[in-house]
Amino acid sequence: MATIKNFLKNNFLAGVLVLGPLMATFYLIKVLLGLLDTFLPWWLDPQHYLEFKIPGLRILLTLFIIVLVGALGRYYIFKVLFRWGEELLHRLPVVSSIYAAIKKLVGTFMGQGQSGFKNVVLIEFPRKGAYSIGFLTGVNEGETQEKTPEKVVNVFIPTTPNPTSGFFVMFPEDQVKRLDMTVEQAFALIVSGGVVTPKSNPKRV
């Protein structure tokens, strides 16, 4: 009886280790495809005009539109049009704040311009004596910096296994330890829940 129990236990754990990452990957892909599938308005949805359904057609059309917008955005005339559209959004109350925040967040995850993650850091969070991996996003400025007795820096602390959500915390600079690992290595560590641990990197000069 004990032998059967051990057999089931060991093989169950082995199956989880094999299927777990695959299932999580397919789930994330399914969520992404679901978002793409619902992106199109009804008047752009080819299925709305067809009497039969073609699996994946809306997703392919959505990807085509995204690539097309990216390509057009490289030309001056379309850059001007996009800029006018952004200026219109910036003039709308509430909408302007939401749009600006989302644009900066997307730029951060894409590593573009000044908004990308600057360093991987180690901080004591959520309590003293417990440590978390975070990303240094910049030095705080303005009123929050003026009203703190110490120089504080902005740190984004992602959650596991979804690093797109997390906590924004302002830490005193001397309480933040910069790490040598890359942003990609830190993401792998966070998403895997600590299973994928990067090897030590050479010290920065």
At 170 the three-state DSSP class reads strand
| Residue 141 to residue 15: CA distance in whole angstroms | 50
User: Among residues 177, 195, 172, which one has the least CA distance to residue 17?
Assistant: 195
- Confidence (pTM): 0.51
Q: What is the pLDDT of residue 120?
A: 92
Strand partners of residue 121: 134, 178
Other C-beta atoms closer than 10 Å to the C-beta of 153 total 22
Q: What is the pLDDT of residue 113?
A: 47
User: Among residues 175, 133, 180, 179, which one has the least CA distance to residue 153?
Assistant: 175
| Residue 181 to residue 101: CA distance in whole angstroms | 27
Q: In tens digits, what is the pLDDT along the chain, a chain of 205 residues?
A: 668 777 776 777 777 666 766 776 677 677 766 766 677 676 677 766 777 777 777 777 777 877 777 777 677 667 777 778 778 877 777 777 777 766 666 665 555 544 457 789 999 999 999 999 999 988 877 888 888 888 999 999 988 877 777 899 999 999 999 999 888 888 888 887 887 787 766 555 4
| Residue 113 to residue 105: CA distance in whole angstroms | 12
Other C-beta atoms closer than 10 Å to the C-beta of 186 total 21
